[in-house]
């Protein structure tokens, strides 16, 4: 499917980025004092719908408070704006309940010539290329970082997403299907 010139293959998933960031092991020269990494004592997070196009590494994202069929439909409409004439969008995604919601079916049927959803087998996140994008985002943006306010996290993460919103070689290589 990835080599078919009439198909735009996208991988979609949802993710949460926590305000408290992530702590990771790091190497520090023995002559230096160990750094202190602060963590925000909170469970606040941002939710993100995201999809990456395999062919060119373009990323489409949408910030969301909740994940449900309504917000997923809004994201699919946003993804449809990326439609290229003469191509059909095929979205590879997991089996979250909002991906299968009956409320989506009329819209999907109406746009069946432009977009199709293909579901991964249960419990197989390793087959979803967008998972690599989430991991890289955490490594670049949240590892060993302190965010005093949730807005700081939003700014850092979405600055990175904006850099990846145009075709780019970083995500193209990261999400390549061989």
Q: How many domains does the chain have?
A: 1
Where residue 152 sits, what CATH number does that domain have? 3.30.420.10
Cα angle 160, 166, 167 (rounded to 5 degrees) comes to 115
User: Could you list the residue range(s) of the whole structural domain that residue 60 is in?
Assistant: 7-22+43-174
* pTM tops 0.75, yes or no: yes
Residue 30 lies in a domain: no
SS3 16: strand
Residue 28 lies in a domain: no
**Of the candidates 87, 144, 139, which has an alpha carbon nearest to the alpha carbon of residue 116?**
87
Residue 57 lies in a domain: yes
Q: What is the pLDDT of residues 79-135, one digit of tens each?
A: 999 999 999 999 999 999 999 999 999 999 999 999 999 999 998 989 999 999 999
Q: What is the pLDDT of residues 147-169, one digit of tens each?
A: 889 999 999 999 999 999 999 99
Are residues 153 and 19 in contact, defined by beta-carbon separation less than 8 angstroms?
yes
Neighbours of 11 (CB within 10 A): 24
């Amino acid at each position: 499917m990835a080599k078919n010139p009439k198909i735009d293959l996208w991988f979609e998933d949802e993710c949460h980025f926590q305000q408290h960031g992530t702590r990771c092991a790091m190497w520090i020269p023995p002559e230096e004092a160990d750094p202190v990494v602060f963590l925000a004592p909170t469970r606040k997070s941002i939710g993100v719908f995201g999809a990456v196009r395999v062919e060119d590494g373009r990323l489409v994202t949408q910030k969301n408070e909740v994940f449900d069929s309504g917000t997923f439909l809004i994201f699919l409409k946003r993804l449809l704006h990326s439609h290229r004439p003469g191509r059909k969008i095929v979205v590879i995604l997991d089996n979250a309940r909002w991906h299968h919601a009956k409320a989506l079916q009329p819209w999907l049927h109406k746009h069946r010539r432009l977009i199709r959803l293909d579901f991964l087998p249960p419990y197989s996140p390793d087959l979803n290329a967008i998972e690599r994008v989430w991991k890289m985002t955490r490594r670049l943006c949240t590892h060993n970082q302190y965010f005093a306010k949730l807005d700081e996290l939003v700014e850092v993460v979405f600055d990175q997403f904006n850099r990846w919103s145009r075709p780019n070689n970083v995500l193209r290589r990261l999400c390549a299907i061989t």
